[in-house]
Amino acid sequence: MAIQQTVVEVSLKNLKNNLRFLKSKLNPNTLIMAVVKAFSYGADAFIISKELEKQKIDYLAVAYTSEGLALRKKGIMSPILVLHPQINDFNTIIEYNLEPSIYSFRILKAFMSSAKFQKNYPFQIKFNTGLNRLGFHENQIDSLIDHLNGLKPTYIFSHLGASEDENEKNFSNDQIKKFSSLAKYFQNKIGVKIKRHILNTSGILNFSEAQYEMVRTGIGLYGFGNDNKYKNALKPVINLKTVISQIHKIKKGDSVGYNKGFIATNNITTATLPIGHADGISRLYGNGNGKVMVNGKFAPIIGNVCMDMMMINISKIVCKEGDQVIIFDDKNISADEFTKSIDTISYEILASLSKRIKRVIIN
């Protein structure tokens, strides 16, 4: 597809491929919760959620209530877990049939005292098994049950902290054992069987024996498995492409960009692209740290990345104004590969992609 501006291409074909692959690692009866927080990791939460509903997804998950509200207002009907509700959110959560994660006594009190609270309203309980981010501790279960006052969660869950790290298998296994233990204790105390989930994408791939009744997947859906062995199985859903706005001939000794960030040591040719740090391309990619692809060849980013533009060295590339430039895609340079140059991860750049960039569905 010929492009004329900066675009995020969203490949629904790759999304479906990734979902099929992840399902292949699960038992037939295991449910899947798809994480669509942070604008579906930059892809567009509505586009992704709509396609996932067509694929009969079991659950969706967002970080904040506003994300779930936006999906409901656009017609998404699947169950949606709000992972990090705040104390003033519960009337909205209940009005729009969202499912809150209850992770502290403060949040539980806000939920139960909200004006729209109903005794049989669905909610989930988050336990902290080692990530130490959100969740009740194991030694709080008895007090938690007292505070629940007869309420029964639809699920209890936790979050693995290092499931992608082969060197931390013992840590992950300890988390899983702790979760199994506290889940059993919790169920015995309340007298009914409670459904569970703990596995994230890397958990599905590396610890599938702990899939319980449901698993969660975020980054895997978007094409990344935290391990090169899954590179061919998981296909990136997002391509980031732009165009050459203008070409300049730069003489030896001339500078390029703000603060004379680049000084030419010989005569070169540069291209200016309509994408910058306001679009999610960090200033850290400047000064030769990052590279993009033009007509099948890599061009280094030079000077400081500007808010809305950046410059590349095209001295050894045959190209013209209006030609396509690939920042990252599913064939030439992945988001993982692009981000390695500044020692970060695909999550960061995907979630940083500005909403002002046009999203285009492909396949």
Segment-wise mean pLDDT, segments of 10 residues, the chain, 363 residues: 90 98 97 98 98 98 98 98 98 98 98 96 98 97 97 98 95 98 97 96 97 98 87 94 98 97 97 98 96 98 98 98 98 94 94 97 91
11-230 with 238-362: one CATH topology? Answer: no
Q: Is 360:9 a contact under the CB 8 Å cutoff?
A: yes
Q: Reply yes or no on domain 11-230 having CATH 3.20.20.10.
A: yes
**Contacts of residue 136, Cβ cutoff 8 Å, sequence gap at least 6:** 103, 104, 125, 126, 127, 128, 144
For the chain, give every domain's residue range: 11-230, 238-362
Tell me which amino acid residue 319 is. Answer: C
pLDDT at residue 94 in the model: 98
Tell me which amino acid residue 48 is. Answer: I
DSSP 127: B
How many whole angstroms separate alpha carbon 173 and alpha carbon 175?
A: 5
User: Which CATH code for domain 238-362?
Assistant: 2.40.37.10
Whether the predicted model's global pTM rises above the 0.85 cut: yes
Catalytic residues: 37, 258
